[in-house]
Amino acid sequence: MNIFAKTGMIAAAALAAGCCCKPLSTGCANAPLSVAAEPFGVTKYGEKATKYVITGRGGLILVATDFGGRLLKCLAPDRHGKLADVTLGWNSVKEYEELGFSMGTLIGRYGNRIRDGKFTLDGKTYQLPLNETKPAPRHCNLHSGPRGWDAHVWKAKPFRDDAAGTAGLELSYVSKDGESGFPGTVEIKVVYTVFPDNVWRVDYEAATDKPTVLNPTHHSYWNLAGEASGDVLGQRLKIFADRYTQTDAGLIPTKDAPVKGTGFDFTESREIGAAAKWMASQKELAAMDNWYDHNFVLRGGNGRMKQAAEMYDPKSGRVLEIWTTEPCMQMYGAQNMSESLPSKTPGKPLCKFAGVALETQHYPDSPNRPDFPSTVLRPGQKFRSTTEYRFKAR
């Protein structure tokens, strides 16, 4: 039996059993460091996908696929060391293709919305596909259109470093000039690394042969009580931002505003659902179903590693800290999910507010807003960005 097959069986057993390891401050004491691979399916474009099970020494287990870089599962220990899958998702390529919600995927070339799917760069105007046009007056390019980077199978290279105690997956993709309407051929590399202290780090690096715009992000949904366990309204969230970005009815940014005195004030840890009455009373939030689909402007600006958020589930004790070099983070509260959606657990559907997406990023619609930090990438420049997901328990 080869090492991939053997470690895959070990990880699969842990997934099935909700493996309980000896508690440590950072996770489990006896988890074997491993990376295993197995087929995941075939996309509607005929590309074969593979999934990779990455087991860290602290007990954290990630299951990721080269199909759009999706995070399929994330098993994190609670205060007793017991593992649960804390990210939303599905069990097949077909479900990811048909059910949407950008579930667990890498987003690119441009995450979030661009007004009218149009921008001008160096005097030339580029028209992108319009894939969000309902309900009116939405009229934009969202997450790069109907076939962004999430709809492609990336080149994958698993790795394990026993000396450092790390394991992970290197993903690379060449986005050709004109793909989804964007200029320039972009070579992108994204590295997922699992560290012994239960940190999942995502490193982005890209270069282009023509001026272009670039704003990659990761679109995982989190429920620290476990996927398909119900809504996250009682879980607590802190966002390290004093301002958020207001939008028009088309969900396009208008201006930044203070969070103080609003339902967007997460400067102190509070339940995600604590401001439900305030949100419901705001007529201007009707286009967002009176819930969260907004950009938060993080303290510390662009390029410096700083904390973006802390999510906490009091029942399990699980904590997720998000740290990033990006200037902003989008919060989407899964208000459009419903019990018509399956989960990864047979017989347990998802529901409204089943998770929360916390997407580190630059501002939405930056190519049309010179007052926002630039997302322009030019030949000879290197785009670099890092986001860390730090799992703890208390």
- Distance (Å, whole) CA 282 – CA 269: 22
11-16: long-range pairs with CB below 8 Å, 24+:
11/36, 11/53, 11/55, 11/61, 11/63, 12/53, 14/55, 14/61, 14/75, 14/83, 15/53, 15/61, 15/63, 15/73, 15/75, 15/85
Per the listing, tokens 């399956």 go with: 342
- Token representation of residue 393: 């328990």
The single residue of 219, 227, 362, 388 carrying the catalytic annotation is 219
* Buried residues in 287-301 as b, exposed as e (16+ CB within 10 A): bbebbbbbbbbbbbe
Per the listing, tokens 């995600």 go with: 272
Residue 388: partners with Cβ closer than 8 Å, 6 or more residues away: 199, 200, 201, 202, 305, 321, 322, 323, 324
Catalytic status, residue 271: no
Catalytic status, residue 219: yes
How far from 172 is each of 40, 82, 190, CA to CA, in Å? 18, 33, 6
The single residue of 227, 310, 359, 388 carrying the catalytic annotation is 359
Q: Which residues pair with 148 in a beta bridge?
A: none
Q: Which residues pair with 310 in a beta bridge?
A: 238, 321
Report whether the peptide linkage leading into residue 346 is cis, meaning its omega lies within 30 degrees of zero.
no
Report, as residue numbers or ranges, the catalytic residues.
Answer: 219, 359
